[in-house]
Amino acid sequence: MANLTRLESDNLRRLEEMRATFDKLRAERIRAEGEVERLTRELEEARSLAKAELGTDDEAEIQRLIETALTQNAKLVEEFGSALRNVETRLRQLGDER
């Protein structure tokens, strides 16, 4: 192999240049595979937690539960505000009676 032709020499040089790209892409693939594994574990943990706390891991059902809770919360806030206004009114009436 001491007498490489110019074409063979050029091909070897190009292969060596491509090796760095290949190594970089291989490392990136390994990192991406690890990330997929980690995210898959996190997703499964989140699903288990949702199932334990909410009784479901269905995204649409969870969204419905959230909307129901928000509606209920708004209703309770309004009821609390009304109760405070009633107390305030009664206190004023008591003050006026004195």
**d(Cα 50, Cα 60) in Å, to the nearest integer?**
12
In 10 A of CB 47, how many CB atoms? 14
| Encoded tokens for 71 | 């509606």
Give 10-69 pLDDT, tens digit per residue: 998 999 999 999 999 999 999 999 999 999 999 999 999 999 999 999 999 999 999 999
Query: How many structural domains compose the chain?
Result: 2
Domain that holds residue 81: 58-98
| Encoded tokens for 51 | 């199932």
Answer yes or no: pTM beyond 0.75. Answer: no
Percent of the chain surpassing pLDDT 70:
96
Q: Assess whether 44 and 76 both reside in one domain.
A: no
Q: Assess whether 9 and 33 both reside in one domain.
A: yes
